Amino acid sequence: NAGVTQTPKFQVLKTGQSMTLQCAQDMNHEYMSWYRQDPGMGLRLIHYSVGAGITDQGEVPNGYNVSRSTTEDFPLRLLSAAPSQTSVYFCASSLDGGGSGNTIYFGEGSWLTVV
């Protein structure tokens, strides 16, 4: 059971480039989300999805785009990378968002540097 798989693990981008962070889960979870982790800021929610075809914005959505065409996959797109998007990105999945006490499972993270 692979759980939540993120790729790539490390990436360096130039300002203005675009890229997609991939996320896949094999637990048949409806709820998937993307967080970014910055020093002293904890984890902040970028976008989330409560099922295929449904997405919504989190706390810090600007500069990012998502889609959810299947239950398994939830890619995060950086449209035009900026140095402020240098961060560690985590994908997560769960049966719901955590309000019912269900565990949220995290991927191992993607370290992104924008120069």
Partner 1 sequence: GNSVTQMEGPVTLSEEAFLTINCTYTATGYPSLFWYVQYPGEGLQLLLKATKADDKGSNKGFEATYRKETTSFHLEKGSVQVSDSAVYFCALGSQGGSEKLVFGKGTKLTVNP
Residues lying near partner 1 in the complex (CB under 8 A) are found at 4, 31, 33, 35, 40-45, 48, 50, 58, 90, 92, 96-101, 103-109
- Of 92, 90, 77, the C-alpha closest to 36 is 90
Q: Are 36 and 43 in contact (CB under 8 A)?
A: yes
Residue 13 or 92 with smaller CB distance to partner 1 = 92
Identify whether the C-beta of residue 63 lies closer than 8 Å to the C-beta of residue 82.
yes
Pick 5 or 17: Cβ nearer partner 1: 5
Contact assessment for residue 29 and residue 10, using Cβ atoms and an 8 Å cutoff:
no
DSSP string, 46-85: EEEEEETTEEEE-S--TTEEE--SSSSB--EEESS--GGG
Which residue, 17 or 106, has its beta carbon nearer to partner 1? 106
Q: Which is nearer to partner 1, 18 or 59 (by Cβ)?
A: 59
Q: How far is the CB of 93 from partner 1 (least distance, A)?
A: 12
The Cα 20–Cα 7 span in angstroms is 9
Closest approach, Cβ 56 to partner 1, in A, equals 8
Q: How far is the CB of 71 from partner 1 (least distance, A)?
A: 17
CB of 113 to partner 1, least distance (A): 16
